Amino acid sequence: MNFDPQQTTVARVSAPTSGASVATFADAAVVQLVTSDPMSPDALVTDLHPATVTVTESGVAARDGGMAWSWLWDDIDAVVHSTDGGWTIFVVPEISDFGVRVPPARVDEFRGMLAARAGIETRRQGRPPTVEPPPMTPPSFSPSMPAPVVAVPLFIAQATDDRELITEPVAVTRSAGHDSSTVPAATLTGIDARDISAWFGSHQVLDRVSLDMVAGEVTALIGPSGCGKSTFLRILNRMHEMIPAAAMAGEVLLDGHDIYDPNRKLTDARREIGMVFQKPNPFPAMSIYDNVLASFRLTGLKASAELKDETVESCLTKAGLWNEVRDRLRQPGGGLSGGQQQRLCIARALAIKPRVLLMDEPCSALDPTSTRRIEETIMQLVSEVTIVIVTHNMQQAVRVSDQCAFFLAEQGTPGVIVEHGPTSAMFGSPQDPRTDDYVNGRFG
């Protein structure tokens, strides 16, 4: 795959808005629709990224540090407001599952500003639309670029302190759900990255990184902040391409097939490659039981009550949480402690039996006791799923991983892998002096 840094691979929204600011809404968020229809009373919308929302003479903008989204008045065909929850979805050509959420105290003010715009239809969640949304037609794109994703893949998202957007994938299909009496069992497989390069706009963050992550083992990605570890992890299940102006080159092979092959379904790749994030992000209002089964709903998988019960117990047991929550499965997942929420997220990721599980610093926000339990869970899971984990904790890398890869970006250059191999060798007798300095705490 070739890349022109002057091109943008994925354009999810219009060009940045301009003009004088009318109003600014702090403590807001960009949101994403997790179900297919914002008009449905059961519509589920989740925060994609914290942001400050600004209404201008040209449209609506949202910004957080170096990341920005915008919707021009001329592009907005309609807005859909929630009956509760404070979110608004913007219906624009080709996209109708993104919007913003403003603080509750200012919802009426924000919606009043939108209502004042002539030519923009206002709809209410749960009421049938008077005009059908425009058809979702994929935009044209260069064959040399990753295929853009329009309106089909939806995500539960979490932001990190270094402004990198991380999204938890859920394989979504717009077609009617299919009957199934079982969830297909996963078979162990490795994942092989070949010559991966990555850009944000014209800024290159990875340069021809290759790594074979062995089936049935834990591979730890280590290195200082900003060396591309999280970007590499996102590329392993095609989340990188969802970031505005992001691009990549190279191959990611699962069972010998490139997940970026145009003939390979994006949702299939994400179903086989799950993700757990740095900060626990269960659906807070959903019960513990429904959190585990969220992927069933989002993939259109229909299952019997018996299978659902079995899946919930099995996944919570594998995540080391069953004994703690078995008597309160119908209570909200948001009521659990931080460590329990993280294990609930692991259980949710396991429900559709991924073959590879990616974990981005899953213990960094947890106390030592919760960290120990997550590590025990990782060591138990690796017999049935290949695990790739990003960690800044060198002791954790030694405890849980079989293989280790050291990433480094020196003096403004893109991130590369300096050295990789068995963890015991990487920490006991590293071949590169930079690896030795890093694992022994002399920098980073």
User: Both tokens of residue 95?
Assistant: 């996209």
Q: Are residues 226 and 354 in the same domain?
A: yes
**Does any domain span residue 199?**
yes
SS3 321: coil
Supply the CATH number for residue 74's domain.
2.30.29.30
240: containing domain:
165-439
Last residue of a domain, one of 91, 124, 157: 124
Our measurement of the distance from residue 137's CA atom to the centroid of its chain's CA atoms, rounded to an integer in Å, reads 24
Eight-class DSSP state of 119:
T
Reported as a single tens digit per residue, the pLDDT across 89-106 is 888 775 667 889 999 899
Write down the pLDDT at residue 138. Answer: 33
Last residue of a domain, one of 124, 145, 179: 124
Q: Rounded distance, CA 69 to CA 27, Å? A: 15
Q: What is the pTM of this model?
A: 0.62
What is the torsional sign of CA 29, 32, 35, 41?
Answer: positive
Q: Are residues 115 and 177 in the same domain?
A: no
Last residue of a domain, one of 70, 92, 124: 124
Q: Rounded distance, CA 237 to CA 274, Å? A: 8
Q: Are residues 77 and 226 in the same domain?
A: no
Q: Are residues 191 and 317 in the same domain?
A: yes
Q: Are residues 169 and 99 in the same domain?
A: no
**Does any domain span residue 288?**
yes
Q: Are residues 78 and 181 in the same domain?
A: no
Q: What is the mean pLDDT of each run of 10 residues along the chain (444 residues)?
A: 35 39 86 68 72 88 74 85 83 75 90 82 60 36 33 30 33 31 62 94 92 95 93 89 81 92 79 87 85 75 86 93 94 90 92 91 88 91 93 94 95 93 94 94 80
Contact 139, 95 (CB under 8 A): no
Q: Are residues 196 and 293 in the same domain?
A: yes
**Does any domain span residue 134?**
no
Tally of structural domains, the chain: 2
**Does any domain span residue 157?**
no
Write down the pLDDT at residue 37. Answer: 66
Q: Are residues 191 and 275 in the same domain?
A: yes
Q: Rounded distance, CA 222 to CA 208, Å? A: 17
- Single out the residue of 274, 52, 66 nearest to residue 164, CA to CA: 66
Q: Are residues 281 and 378 in the same domain?
A: yes
Our measurement of the distance from residue 412's CA atom to the centroid of its chain's CA atoms, rounded to an integer in Å, reads 27
**Does any domain span residue 138?**
no
**Does any domain span residue 156?**
no
**Does any domain span residue 353?**
yes
Q: Are residues 278 and 419 in the same domain?
A: yes
Angle at 7 between CA 4 and CA 12, to 5 degrees: 140
Contact 365, 340 (CB under 8 A): no
Q: Rounded distance, CA 234 to CA 241, Å? A: 9
Supply the CATH number for residue 189's domain.
3.40.50.300
Q: Are residues 281 and 404 in the same domain?
A: yes
**Does any domain span residue 3?**
no
Write down the pLDDT at residue 10. Answer: 29
Reported as a single tens digit per residue, the pLDDT across 382-428 is 989 999 999 999 999 999 999 999 999 988 899 999 999 999 999 99
Q: Are residues 209 and 265 in the same domain?
A: yes
Write down the pLDDT at residue 133. Answer: 36
